[in-house]
Amino acid sequence: MSVELIERRRAAIRKHVFLLCPNNSGSTFLSKAIGTSPAVWSLAREGQHTFGYAGPSTIASPWPLIWYADEESTAYFRDHPEFDWERTKRAWYLQASAENDTAPVFMTKSPPFLLIADKLMANFASTSFLFMVRNPYAAMEGVLRRPRRTGDAGAGPDLPRIAAQHFVNCLRQQKANIAAYGDNSIAFTYEELCASPEKIAARIADLVPELAGIDLTQKLSVKQAYDEPLRNMNEQQIGRLTAEQIKVANEIFCPNADILSHFDYDLIE
């Protein structure tokens, strides 16, 4: 029965949409909001955390939130030997949910997928990307605030520097993604999404007409921590950073001011 179900869904799905965004940057709200569209098949969890996904997962790694900080972690998520996209499709299609069995769009997200847009494009039909970034100071604060587990590669006093390098690398990769897949994508910032959700919804619908009518102003529960409409939380998150954390982060951000500026982000003195 599951094989028949997978094949019915495979036949119904005509487009694949991947939200590629660094972690701690607002992608959970956006993906949940898009998932409320009657045209969308979506997953209860990130694609990388869905049972049966054949590839590297942040949960099973030493780099749950800093997976792009160095060559070792990057290779783990970009060149992992266990990638099996046919097996992954079966797992995703079987566990996806939609309002009706004829929904034409499959959508998912996983932060490390930012590293493998080429693999997604090569293995999924009619692929579109939503590229989003966020102020790296605010995103970094989310990493620093999360309790570390034993064995995390970033545990310890050097985490602000490691996290800053991670987000600089994410911004540079996102710039490259946007340049490479401009015909199959739209790009925007978390700040633009918060300020003009109707405008971003319209741009998404321009890219994928089946998603016309999505509501990015709705109240949604996110990570069991928020149950509210999307709002820009940068000020309060950056306000929680200590002067020392900012100083250490700036040892990375200052020499990379060009990529922050590319996305209209300023250095904090």
Three-state SS across the chain? CHHHHHHHHHHHCCEEEEEECCCCCCHHHHHHHHHCCCCEEECCCCHHHCCCCCCCCCCCCCCCCCCCCCHHHHHHHHCCCCCCHHHHHHHHHHHCECCCCCCCEEEEECHHHHHCHHHHHHHCCCEEEEEEECCHHHHHHHHHHCCCCCCCCCCCCCHHHHHHHHHHHHHHHHHHHHHHCHHHEEEEEHHHHHHCHHHHHHHHHHHCHHHCCCCCCCCEEECCCEEECCCCCHHHHHHCCCHHHHHHHHHHHHHHHHHHHHCCCCCCC
Residues 6+ apart with CB under 8 A from 260: 136, 168, 171, 253, 266, 267
Q: In the beta sheet, which residues pair with residue 220?
A: 228
pLDDT band per the 50, 70, 90 thresholds, residue 229 = confident
Nearest to 133 by CA among 268, 19, 30, 21: 21
Residue with token string 């004829």: 102
pLDDT band per the 50, 70, 90 thresholds, residue 230 = confident
The CA-CA-CA angle for residues 204, 26, 263, to 5°, reads: 75
For the segment 95-105, the average pLDDT, to the nearest whole number, is 96
Predicted pLDDT of residue 226: 65
Condensed to tens digits (0 to 9), the pLDDT of residues 105-139 reads 999 999 999 999 999 999 999 999 999 999 999 99
pLDDT band per the 50, 70, 90 thresholds, residue 228 = confident
Q: In the beta sheet, which residues pair with residue 18?
A: 108, 129
For the segment 81-89, the average pLDDT, to the nearest whole number, is 97
The CA-CA-CA angle for residues 175, 65, 183, to 5°, reads: 25
Q: How many CB atoms lie within 10 A of CB 43?
A: 22
**155, 252 in Cβ contact below 8 A?**
no
For the segment 212-219, the average pLDDT, to the nearest whole number, is 94
Mean pLDDT score of the chain? 94
Q: How many CB atoms lie within 10 A of CB 91?
A: 19
Predicted pLDDT of residue 224: 58
Nearest to 191 by CA among 229, 222, 227, 234: 234
Condensed to tens digits (0 to 9), the pLDDT of residues 156-172 reads 779 999 999 999 999 99
Predicted pLDDT of residue 157: 78
Predicted pLDDT of residue 155: 66
Condensed to tens digits (0 to 9), the pLDDT of residues 251-265 reads 999 999 999 999 999
Q: In the beta sheet, which residues pair with residue 41?
A: 106
For the segment 224-242, the average pLDDT, to the nearest whole number, is 87
For the segment 99-105, the average pLDDT, to the nearest whole number, is 95
Predicted pLDDT of residue 1: 55
Q: 213 exposed, middle or buried (CB, 10 Å; 0-12, 13-18, 19+)?
A: exposed
For the segment 81-99, the average pLDDT, to the nearest whole number, is 97
Condensed to tens digits (0 to 9), the pLDDT of residues 182-191 reads 999 999 999 9
Predicted pLDDT of residue 165: 98
User: HSE of 250 in the Cβ direction (CA atoms, 13 Å)?
Assistant: 11
pLDDT at 153 over 80: no
**117, 129 in Cβ contact below 8 A?**
yes
